[in-house]
A = this chain, B = another copy of it.
Amino acid sequence: MADVTLRDVARASGCSVATVSRVLAGTRPVGADTARRVRAAAASLGYRPNHAARALRNRATGTVGLVLPQITNPFYPALVRELTHALHAEGRAVLLADCDDDPVAEAERIEDLLGRRVDALLVIPADERRSRDAVAAAAARVPLVLLDRRCGPGVADSVAVDNAAGMALVLEHLAATGRRRPCFVGAHGTASAAAERRAAYAAGSGALDAAAPERTALGDFSVAWGRAAVDALWEARPDAVVCANDLIAIGVLQRLQELGADVPGEVAVTGFDDIPMAGLAAPGITTVRQPVAELAAEATRLLAHRLGADGAGPQRALRLAPDLVVRGSSAAPHVRA
């Protein structure tokens, strides 16, 4: 089943390859009658354009690379879904690269994608600092948008959730439902999710209780750390545990329940991201829902802009406001009592 080429279609429709190309690409006006003949011939032969040839000629592959730290991070599948859908809708294909949280592997994957002539790159950097060089080098060669995380200022366009706004929503909600002794279980590091959420808690929790900003424990973004943090913080008897992400919150909730604490009667627990597990815990975990579809839409819009004719312009850093999803883990204490 030899592939059908433009020449075959040209022969079958009795005109030149140039004409066929013009008809099929709609590049230039073509006689209505010729056009019909060409289309008929193409259809009957089952012609399919060869993207490789097109890419060579046009210097554009219609492909974007999506580089992410770990597809198994439960927050990413939803993002990947929205991104691929948005890009497919524009006729682009997505080359996926998982880096296993390793900046070295990340640099290799980015190199490979550039070699494959992706038109643009969407990157969720693995590490705030160690991803920087590879990302900056790539951004010098193709349009690049940073997603979810950044890697230092001035590297590339970026789109992410407004972590401060999200944390503020949590604190407001806790205040409104009568909590007065919050504590925070966060993560070390300078990545935006860690640093910004930490800072927002520090800035906002003082309104509930002057000592609240100090009731903070830092570890990593894991269930195990959430469990461990409870053992450090519970003796201070907080009435709310604000967690930097949902995995931590799941660990916190589990450990509190093991210790016999009443959630939410005695203590509320909140997360961040709204991964699927957050809704499945019992009670469901109140959390900050990232606007995943919008993040994806904005990222692709930014890319499309950079790929367009007037793609110049200053670097952009976009922050999208999240929503609060209230579930059982933070139900007002008196409702339950």
A: which residues have CB within 8 A of B? Answer: 1, 48-53, 55-56, 61-63, 66, 70-72, 74, 76-78, 80-81, 84-85, 88, 93-98, 100, 109, 112-117, 140-141, 223, 250, 254, 257-258, 276-277, 280, 282
Most buried by B among A85, A88, A96: A96
A250 and chain B: residue at smallest CB distance = B280
Find chain B residues with CB under 8 A from A276 CB. 72, 74, 277
A93 and chain B: residue at smallest CB distance = B95
Q: Are A78 and B72 in contact (CB under 8 A)?
A: yes
Q: Tell me the number of copies of this protein.
A: 2
Assembled-state Cα–Cα distance A277/B72 (Å): 12
Contact partner of A76 (CB less than 8 A), chosen from B56, B77, B88, is: B77
Find chain B residues with CB under 8 A from A258 CB. 282
What's the dominant secondary structure at chain A's contact region? Answer: helix
Contact partner of A277 (CB less than 8 A), chosen from B71, B84, B140, B277, is: B277
Find chain B residues with CB under 8 A from A84 CB. 71, 96-98
Q: 23 A-B Cβ contacts within 8 A?
A: A1-B140, A1-B141, A48-B114, A49-B115, A50-B56, A52-B52, A52-B61, A63-B116, A71-B77, A71-B80, A71-B81, A71-B84, A72-B78, A72-B276, A76-B77, A85-B98, A85-B100, A88-B109, A93-B97, A95-B96, A223-B280, A257-B282, A277-B277
A55 and chain B: residue at smallest CB distance = B52
Q: Are B257 and A117 in contact (CB under 8 A)?
A: no
A111 and chain B: residue at smallest CB distance = B48
Find chain B residues with CB under 8 A from A112 CB. 88, 93
A108 and chain B: residue at smallest CB distance = B88
Find chain B residues with CB under 8 A from A280 CB. 223, 250, 254, 277
Q: Are A117 and B52 in contact (CB under 8 A)?
A: yes
Q: Are B77 and A117 in contact (CB under 8 A)?
A: no
Q: Are B51 and A116 in contact (CB under 8 A)?
A: yes
Assembled-state Cα–Cα distance A277/B278 (Å): 10
- Given contact pairs A48-B115, A51-B116, A277-B277, enumerate 7 new A-B contacts (beta carbons under 8 Å): A50-B56, A71-B81, A74-B77, A76-B77, A84-B98, A95-B96, A258-B282
A257 and chain B: residue at smallest CB distance = B282
Contact partner of A117 (CB less than 8 A), chosen from B50, B85, B98, is: B50
Assembled-state Cα–Cα distance A267/B70 (Å): 36
Find chain B residues with CB under 8 A from A53 CB. 56
Q: Are A96 and B80 in contact (CB under 8 A)?
A: yes
Q: Are B51 and A115 in contact (CB under 8 A)?
A: yes
Find chain B residues with CB under 8 A from A94 CB. 95-97
Find chain B residues with CB under 8 A from A56 CB. 50, 52-53, 56
A94 and chain B: residue at smallest CB distance = B96
Contact partner of A96 (CB less than 8 A), chosen from B96, B116, B254, is: B96
Assembled-state Cα–Cα distance A78/B73 (Å): 10
A141 CB, min distance to chain B CBs, angstroms: 7
Q: Are B81 and A88 in contact (CB under 8 A)?
A: no
Find chain B residues with CB under 8 A from A61 CB. 52
A184 CB, min distance to chain B CBs, angstroms: 22
A91 and chain B: residue at smallest CB distance = B112
Find chain B residues with CB under 8 A from A72 CB. 77-78, 81, 276
